[in-house]
Structure 1
Amino acid sequence: MFRVTNGMMAANTLRNIGAAASRLATANEAVASNMKIQLASDDSKVATRAVTYRSYVSQIKQYQDNADAADAWQTVTDDSLSAVSDYVSQLKEYATAASSDTKTAEDLQSIKTSVEALLKDVISVLNNDTSGSYIFGGYSTSEAPYEVVSTDIGDTVTFKGEYLSLGGVISAEVSDSDIQNFYAANASNVYDSLTDAADAALAANTKAQAALAADPTNVILIAKAASAQTTSDTLAAAVTTYGGSTNLTTAAAEAETDVDTLTTAITTYGGTTDLTTAAANALADYTTAQAAADADSTDTALAEAAAKAKITSDTLATAVTTYGGATTLTAAAAEADTTSKTLAAAVTNSDQDINYNINFGTEVTVNVEGQDVTGEGSDNLFNTIQKLLLALDGDTSYKTVTGTDSSGTAIVETVDLSITDLIDEFNTALGRVTASQASLGASMSSVTNVADRLDEAYEAYSSLLTDNENIDTAVATTELSSAEYTYEAALAVGAKVISKSLIDYIA
């Protein structure tokens, strides 16, 4: 037996009171904060899961914000494209109405006023923005991309400060010399021109060659330098072939046509035939086809055959200059194919896609570039509108620059102008807008689907976070009541145990 002293009883009582007080404090803090733990040391498993869940919830919330921003951008873009589609449809209707023989000069001038208003509307919509960012300007989001500017050869529309086409549609009243002077002065101010692509390729080649010189045995750098050299050389040659101020997309399309023409010529004239001979044969075939078409102007098949023969003849004549007269058709077609692929790659590289990260490893392109909507080069929407305005003024022809001669002087040609032909051009313009809307629609659908999944994930992880960190109110309240009762009992028992003082024992 061991002796239990008053001191021991007092110490045990105080320890029990302290434990009860600590339990009460913990229970009270849990109910007050609604949290299972206050410090990571309280429960390491709960703390670890809390960090993980909070990280997931935070990431998902950021993705939701990105998805909302993407949706906002795309919604404004979709509304704008719908408006452009409506405006182009109206322009087509005006062209159709103006083509009627019953329209008077006053009627045509009234239509012209409406067309001028629609031109302003189209530009206004294409300059729409969302939260201060212009939606059709690619990476240039801080400035309105489209503007009507006055030049020495007439009004035209610029895209991001550069001409969509240089000398595309000009009044026949403007002199050739004025057009040539303007072309020469502004040849370097064409949007997405072949010259820009060639300069970029040359810069990339210079960088690649410098890297190779610093590490000449690196096989990866050797391959990159060789590829950069080929691309630079090909684009430099394309500048000569298609004209430095030619829009890159237009040049790529022409290069693809050249490949098709040369490939067909191989079948017609034989792959081993040299270009000089093939060009001579093609010219003879064109002369024959044109004569047949002239003899029977009502036969559309003959006219189409003559037009096709002319394309072949012109292409082969140009190929003689580009590749050399002694080059075989097979070799020329192979070189043309290389050029076509290089230009197509350059077009892709020139894209200015704005991407939003809307999910783990998922990006979506939110923008549509303006040139994809309006078209590029000489076939752009604004050139078609300009043709319509000229036709409404009674013009039956217009001037355009088709390229440059060997001295670099712009070649000016006069083209017949018919309002009826413009109806097809507006149909083409509508097709571009529709294609842009279809592409955007697919992207919008993707954003919607991802946003729905994000909402589900947010709810799931938020629930896990809540279950991991938050208390069960009923259980916690019961625990608090129990802790209060225990503490009060401990105090009451302690008061009885240590209530006697030294005086009580002396008495």
Structure 2
Amino acid sequence: MRITNSMMTAASVRNINMNMERLSKAQTQVSTECKIQQPSDDPVVASRAIRYRSYVARVEQYQKNVDNVTSWQKVTDSAMSDLSDIMQQLKELAVKGSTDALSDSDLAAIKEEVTQLQQSAIDALNTSYGGRYVFGGYATDVAPYSLDSDNNVLFKGQLVSDFTDNGEDQAIKSNIGYGSAVSINVEGQDVTGMGDGNLFATFAKVMDGLDNGDTTAISSCLDDIETNFDTILAAQADLGARMNYVSMVGDRLDKDYTTYKELMSNNEDVDIAEASAESTTAQVVYEASLSVGVKVMSKSLLDYLA
């Protein structure tokens, strides 16, 4: 087979282009630290990348949901702890007010303190997180507790003693992972109790007793206060169980995130040491092909006549 100069030149150009493409790919991998730049480079890697990135994105969203739920529940738990402290102070004032030796001015001073405690209880139950009231059920945009003109406490516009939820569950749920939804809120009536034995009814009984100087009536409120304590603690215990569950889910999501990120990295990221070595080799080969090409393409008729 006869080899001509044009054939040698074409072969040299083709080899130079191939080596230049190899060098470009190697340098791109080093600079981007990615195995592929477009799906056609490696369809298998590309399809896995889509799947792993979807997993990571889903876990990241679940982690955000867990963070939001955790913050909401911590705010709620803190508010109930404050409410327990308020009821403890009410108990101490009730014990103090049941003493027979107190004057009218002493009883009036105690009533003023009880009135302030009632307002503190209302404030605690009107706690909000991110602009949403945590004890209002679905009605998160309006403060659930308020006082009317007669100093009666209202819940969602109704007297607390008259309020009934009619069996309607207003649990706000959040999806925190793989179809696992958890109730994030505590409804106000679950904390204060309902009917005549609710927390604010106890406040009213204590204040009436102080107004009338009825130490027996004040003393009888101590049992009601204990009942209110039990109601708060039961609601707090239920919330605590859900908080523990959310914490466990959060730990599992952290592990899943690490696993999926590792899979994604193994699938997409290049080995830098290996890629650098390939880039160096490609550079040497490319320069060699240029050197050979120069010698082939520089030949002329004069070189053969010399």
Normalised TM-score (structure 1): 0.59
- Structure 2 residue matching 1:155: 3-state secondary structure: coil
Distance 2:301 2:146 in 1: 102
The 5 Å alignment of 1:81-92 reads 81-92=80-91
Residue by residue over 1:384-430, the C-alpha shift from the partner in whole angstroms, topping out at 9 and shown as x without a partner, is: 10111111011659xxxxxxxxxxxxxxxxxxx71121000010000
- Structure 2 residue matching 1:418: 3-state secondary structure: helix
Task: Give the ranges of 4+ consecutive aligned residues of structure 1 lying more than 6 Å apart after TM superposition.
Answer: none
Note if contact 2:107-2:213 (Cα within 8 Å) is conserved in structure 1.
Answer: no
Determine the structure 2 residue equivalent to 1:368: 186
Q: Among residues 256, 272, 276, which one is paired with 1:457 in the alignment?
A: 256
Distance 1:159 1:112 in 2: 23
Q: What is the number of residues matched between the two proteins?
A: 306
Determine the structure 1 residue equivalent to 2:219: 420
Distance 1:488 1:375 in 2: 84
Determine the structure 2 residue equivalent to 1:437: 236
Distance 1:365 1:93 in 2: 35
Note if contact 2:164-2:194 (Cα within 8 Å) is conserved in structure 1.
Answer: no
Distance 2:103 2:302 in 1: 128
The 5 Å alignment of 1:306-321 reads none
Q: CA deviation at 1:505?
A: 5.5
Q: Among residues 376, 391, 394, which one is paired with 2:212 in the alignment?
A: 394
Q: Would you say 1:134 and 2:133 are equivalent positions?
A: yes
Unaligned runs of 5+ in 1: 167-190, 194-247, 249-346, 398-416
Q: CA deviation at 1:506?
A: 7.2
Q: CA deviation at 1:501?
A: 3.1
Distance 1:503 1:96 in 2: 122
Q: CA deviation at 1:504?
A: 4.6
Amino acid aligned to 2:208: L
Residue by residue over 1:22-60, the C-alpha shift from the partner in whole angstroms, topping out at 9 and shown as x without a partner, is: 000100110111100011111111111111110000000
Note if contact 2:59-2:257 (Cα within 8 Å) is conserved in structure 1.
Answer: yes
Residue by residue over 1:217-252, the C-alpha shift from the partner in whole angstroms, topping out at 9 and shown as x without a partner, is: xxxxxxxxxxxxxxxxxxxxxxxxxxxxxxx4xxxx
Distance 1:429 1:16 in 2: 87
Distance 2:171 2:201 in 1: 25
Residue by residue over 1:64-93, the C-alpha shift from the partner in whole angstroms, topping out at 9 and shown as x without a partner, is: 000000000000001000000000111111
The 5 Å alignment of 1:26-65 reads 26-65=25-64
Distance 1:110 1:502 in 2: 120
> Cα distance 1:357–1:351, how it changes in 2: closer, same or farther (>3 A)?
same
Unaligned runs of 5+ in 2: none
Amino acid aligned to 2:88: S
Determine the structure 2 residue equivalent to 1:274: none
- Structure 1 residue matching 2:182: 3-state secondary structure: strand
Distance 1:502 1:96 in 2: 121
Distance 2:301 2:47 in 1: 54
Q: Among residues 289, 296, 300, which one is paired with 1:501 in the alignment?
A: 300
- Structure 2 residue matching 1:66: 3-state secondary structure: helix
Q: Would you say 1:108 and 2:107 are equivalent positions?
A: yes
Q: CA RMSD in A?
A: 1.6
Q: Among residues 154, 160, 166, which one is paired with 1:164 in the alignment?
A: 160
The 5 Å alignment of 1:221-236 reads none
Q: CA deviation at 1:503?
A: 5.4
- Structure 1 residue matching 2:262: 3-state secondary structure: helix
Distance 1:95 1:69 in 2: 39
Distance 2:51 2:290 in 1: 42
Q: Among residues 378, 381, 390, which one is paired with 2:196 in the alignment?
A: 378
Note if contact 2:26-2:278 (Cα within 8 Å) is conserved in structure 1.
Answer: yes
Q: Among residues 164, 176, 180, which one is paired with 1:192 in the alignment?
A: 164
Q: Among residues 159, 167, 170, which one is paired with 1:352 in the alignment?
A: 170
Amino acid aligned to 1:89: Q
The 5 Å alignment of 1:3-22 reads 3-22=2-21
Indicate the structure whose relative CO is greater, using CA pairs within 8 Å and at least 6 residues apart: 2
Note if contact 2:83-2:121 (Cα within 8 Å) is conserved in structure 1.
Answer: yes
